[in-house]
Amino acid sequence: MGVKAALPKYELYFYYTVLSLAMLWATSWIFAVSSSNANRKSFKSSVKPGWYYFGRKMDTADFEWVMWFSTFREHILFALSGHILFAKICSMLAPQYRSLVYMVYGLLAVWTSMGWTYVTLMLSHCILLYSISLVKIRWLCFATGLFTLATFKCQPFVAWQAGFVNGDFELRHVLFYGGCGFTIMRCMSFALENCERKDGNYSIIELLKYNFYLPFFYFGPIMTFDQFHVQVNKSDLTRKEREMWNISVHGLIHLGVIIVVDVLFHFMYILTIPTDVKLMKHLSDWALVGLAYFNLVYDWVKAAVMFGVINTVSRLDHLDPPRPPKCITMLYMFAETHFDRGINDWLCKYVYDHLGGKHDKVVEELVATLCTYGVTILWLGPCEVVLIWAFFNCFGLNFELWTAKLFSMEPFVTIEATMSEAASRRIRAVINTFNFWCIVLFNILAINSLDFAKMVAKRLLLKGFPITTVIVMFMTYCLVQVIKEWERRQAMIQDPDPLPPAPPAIATTGPTEASASDAAPETVADPSKEKSE
């Protein structure tokens, strides 16, 4: 069944209606719970006074959001504004030296915020991995990189290295771990790309340019060295038509999303409610399921905004950074589940694709996914929740391949061939519905807690069976069909179906008709233009 399989319009309108009503219904439940429990004793630590003209309290349970967009926004805006200013001056006066200016400004900004001991620590890791890369042994570079990454995830190495960075800067603790982790990943990318280079080695200055590019330094996203090196040393700095307009629009969209999320935090306490187990036990099935879904959507919004703001700055520097993460609403396949495209590109390039090949063999795919999630566990920090999350996602990714292999055999191939494309799409959507909720439940583990995930699964599959289970699955089926319709339209735009050739003209007895038929092809519109119209 192709991605271009269409459904009747009335059926799609029905799906849109059901989905809209379901979203409004779940929102109303969460709003009612938030309003009636705003003064609850267990909420005092995270639900605090917000904007006074709303007359409501605000959910401040997410430390990252409050840190970036309330407490430390002045520091971030000041540092990024300085980077934009110096980058613009350099691109106008001496564009050939802009990569050096990025490096110098990044070093000075890190030195100012974290101190010279932190810069020295980062330089020592860069020098270590650069020295190993000169040997050009791929496995040795990878092993060294994983070992150095482990020193920031395991005790007593973490405490020993953190002891070098002292001071009362409130953001220092967060910046320490962010800068260290991304530095090691960038150094590994440099070392592995240096191993692939046939003629000579990259200089250590290229590594420092890559690592100390300020917009990416502390919190990413990660751009692999081969892409960064080509783009940052590009001499042609001309922009495409309407590129600056698009950058400005994206910047305004991110600002608007920040305001909208802050407003919603005054009306729906989606982050604080899951921390109160007693309250969740008394919630309705619809409120609990909606809460799980909205938590994942919010986590995507947060990642999209944080990476989007940084990506806007990098686009001003004539770079093409990794795209924002794919929305959780659009995910019904484990192969597409990644909240950070930079890390995903890094893992695919150096681990998953390197070991998995074409990803069509069961054993190779199993080895590739195990190794990929092994590196991911080390990157996130080994703990019970991360291990459970990695196990279920690794299983889901392999189970998709096993299922695809099974249904590519007889008699399933023959059965599907006898169906219409619309019927095949409906059957696949039913399977994707269960896949969607597996992705939701597995990722709630990493975003919220194991207790919250267990409670949602128990209410959805056991206590709520069959009424809640059937209704929720049907609404999810409608969501999957809406997603598939969006994907179909995108596929039609990128690769429109060719028009059938026009029937040949039949000549008649008169010369006038013959001359008219000869001139007819000249007046026929271009097929691609006619199709697009």
For 272-294, the DSSP string reads TGGG-HHHHHTS-HHHHHHHHHH
User: Token match 């949602």: residue?
Assistant: 456
- What's the CA angle centered on 443, arms 439 and 446, to 5 degrees? 165
User: 263-287 burial, b if ≥16 CB within 10 A, otherwise e?
Assistant: ebbbbbbbbbbbbbeebbeebebbb
* pLDDT 10s digits, 141-157: 999 999 999 988 887 88
Q: What is the pLDDT of residue 499?
A: 52
Q: What does the block give as tokens for 19?
A: 């989905």
Burial of 521 (C-beta count, 10 Å sphere; 0-12/13-18/19+): exposed
Query: Distance between terminal CA atoms of the chain?
Result: 27
Q: What is the pLDDT of residue 4?
A: 74
Q: What is the pLDDT of residue 451?
A: 87
Q: What does the block give as tokens for 139?
A: 């496995």
Contact 190, 207 (CB under 8 A): yes
- Predicted model pTM: 0.85
Contact 137, 192 (CB under 8 A): no
Domain spans in the chain, listed from the N-terminal domain onward? 9-67+245-330+409-494, 71-237
Q: What is the pLDDT of residue 328?
A: 77
Q: What is the pLDDT of residue 496?
A: 74
Q: What does the block give as tokens for 54?
A: 């709303």
- What's the CA angle centered on 355, arms 354 and 357, to 5 degrees? 75
Contact 283, 30 (CB under 8 A): no
Distance of alpha carbon 112 from its chain centroid, rounded?
A: 31
Distance CA 141, CA 237 (A): 34
Would you report the helix, strand and coil content of the chain in percent, each value rounded to 5?
75, 0, 25
**SS3 letters across 174-187:** HHHHHHHHHHHHHH
Q: What is the pLDDT of residue 430?
A: 92
Contact 183, 118 (CB under 8 A): no
Q: What is the pLDDT of residue 503?
A: 55
Question: Which of 56, 441, 102 shows the shortest CA–CA distance to 268?
Answer: 56
Digitized pLDDT (tens) for each residue of the chain, 533 residues in all: 567 788 999 999 999 999 999 999 989 999 999 988 888 888 888 888 887 777 788 998 888 888 777 767 777 888 889 999 988 898 888 888 899 999 999 999 999 888 888 999 999 999 999 999 999 999 999 999 999 999 888 878 888 887 777 666 666 777 888 889 999 999 999 999 999 998 889 999 999 999 999 999 988 789 999 999 999 988 778 888 888 999 999 889 988 998 999 889 999 999 999 988 889 888 888 889 999 999 989 988 888 888 888 999 999 998 999 888 777 778 888 877 776 788 889 999 999 988 888 788 888 989 999 999 999 999 988 888 899 999 999 998 899 889 888 888 888 888 888 888 899 999 999 999 998 999 889 888 888 888 898 999 999 888 888 898 999 999 999 999 999 999 899 888 877 765 555 555 544 444 434 333 343 443 344 444 333 33
Identify the sign of the CA torsion 234, 238, 243, 244: positive
Contact 9, 425 (CB under 8 A): no
Q: What is the pLDDT of residue 517?
A: 39
Contact 355, 371 (CB under 8 A): yes
Q: Which amino acid is at 481?
A: Q
Residue 114: phi, psi to the nearest 5? -115, -15
Q: What is the pLDDT of residue 169?
A: 61
Distance CA 126, CA 180 (A): 11
3-state secondary structure of 324: coil
Around Cβ 317, how many Cβ atoms within 10 Å? Answer: 21
Calculate the alpha carbon distances from 158 to 9, 164, 343 in Å.
Answer: 58, 10, 22
Burial of 205 (C-beta count, 10 Å sphere; 0-12/13-18/19+): exposed
Sequence-ordered list of residues with C-beta below 8 angstroms from that of 401, at least 6 positions apart, any chain: 359, 360, 362, 365
What would the DSSP string read from start to end of 333-394?
SGGG--S-HHHHHHHIIIIIHHHHTTS-SHHHHHHHHHHHHHHHHHHH---HHHHHHHHHHH
Distance of alpha carbon 12 from its chain centroid, rounded?
A: 27
Largest CA distance in the chain: 98
Contact 295, 197 (CB under 8 A): no
Contact 82, 109 (CB under 8 A): yes
Sequence-ordered list of residues with C-beta below 8 angstroms from that of 251, at least 6 positions apart, any chain: 309, 312
Rounded to the nearest 10 degrees, how much is the dihedral formed by the CA atoms of 188, 192, 194, 196?
A: -170
